[in-house]
Amino acid sequence: MMMKLADLIEENVEEIAALDAVNGGKLFTLCKAIDIPGAARTLRYYAGAADKIHGTVLKMSKGLQGYTLREPIGVVGSIIPWNFPTTMFFMKAAPALAAGCTLVVKPAEQTPLSALYYAHLAKLAGIPDGVLNVVNGFGETAGAAISAHMDIDKVTFTGSTEVGRKIMAAAAASNLKPVSLELGGKSPLLIFDDADIDQAADIAFRGMFYNKGEICVASSRVYVQEGIYEKLVKKLVEKAKATVVGDPFDPQVNQGPQTDKKQFEKILSYIEHGKREGATLLTGGKHVGQKGYYIEPTIFTDVNEDMIITKEEIFGPVMSLMKFKTMEEAIKRANNTTYGLASGIITKNLNVANTVSRSIRAGVVWINCYTAFDVDCPYGGYKMSGFGRDFGLDALNQYLQIKSVVTPIHDSPWH
């Protein structure tokens, strides 16, 4: 049934891509090329794992025979965000289904359309009624009800740290259900003097401005070693000024609108904070056009770790550029954050790459690349970026619990 659902998603890629573009301002071309096909791949990956869930045989120290079973945790509440509605839907649903769980999915109130369409396709694929359920509503009501419900056995959530705390509290106050949280980020990208300037500029720009900056792992804090700083700044400003902002259905457009008015106004308020705190606005920072929630790609320099734009997750197209001298300084500054979701390193020096990757406290470290996601690679955060992992077999295990079965062996010759 999961394989059939993957086939149906691919057959309806145009319609689903249009739903996500209309709902969230995402680029139609990227939804069609990346997000929707990625959902089908995720389903097939976990469908392939569904019949490979095994326990272990135990070597007991007494006259006992023992083994473990991995059993479905039960009913899963999945609360997903608005920035990647399709990706997040199946990042949670596919491993839960493969584990044998049933789900109640609450999409973000800003982007409910594709989730409803997936429920329709699930029925066409033969998934029984009650196995994959979509419930629309606001976080304060529907999300809170899922978190506190006594008959829900686990909650998985992607979103803000603030809401993650509320979900943990509700889970603890109800039936002590386990939770897994993928929360905010303020991810550092460290670019060393030996980096190829053009490659580094491409990686840094895509890492920050992909999906109009509405991405948890956005490389919003870019640290550049002083020897190449000026050259890299020039390249990034050129890229920002060349970016076409507009209609997400126009194939010539590089950046669509922010998801809604609230997010649009929040981003602009952070830009004003940056200017008031003394950061230098190199480019961008303004509303594009007379209507719609379009914001220019924005780059600040003369930024320090005490500024709000460096400490808080903006979730929009705003990059902070900072200069460093030594590797030790870069590591210290990169770790000077309450978050720990992702990070990046650009260098040709293997020793530098190894040292930095082991020193940064983050769930993902990308070397000479960024946003290099794969369904087989676990993804999740350190510190206030949450706990638990999506993707890979680690995600599958989050929806399973271990049962030990023990039988006495009387008159065993081995004991």
Return the pLDDT at 217: 98
Judge contact between 338 and 384, C-beta under 8 A: yes
Q: Which domains does the chain have, with CATH numbers?
A: 1-183+381-405 (3.40.605.10), 188-367 (3.40.309.10)
Active centre residues (catalytic): 182
Return the pLDDT at 414: 67
Return the pLDDT at 67: 97
Q: Distance between CA 114 and CA 31 in Å, rounded?
A: 11
Return the pLDDT at 413: 72
Beta bridge partners of 283: 299
Q: Distance between CA 312 and CA 334 in Å, rounded?
A: 14
Q: Distance between CA 210 and CA 141 in Å, rounded?
A: 31
55's torsion region: left (phi>0), alpha (psi -120 to 50) or beta? Answer: beta
Return the pLDDT at 410: 86
For the chain, list residues with pLDDT below 70.
414-415
State pLDDT tens for residues 199-233: 999 999 999 999 999 999 999 999 999 999 999 99
Q: Distance between CA 362 and CA 337 in Å, rounded?
A: 10
Query: Residue 151 class from Cβ within 10 Å (0-12 exposed, 13-18 middle, 19+ buried)?
Result: exposed
DSSP structure string for 91-135: HHHHHHHHTT-EEEEE--TTS-HHHHHHHHHHHHTTPPTTTEEE-
Least Cα distance to 363 among 347, 379, 384 occurs for 379
Query: pTM (2 decimals)?
Result: 0.95
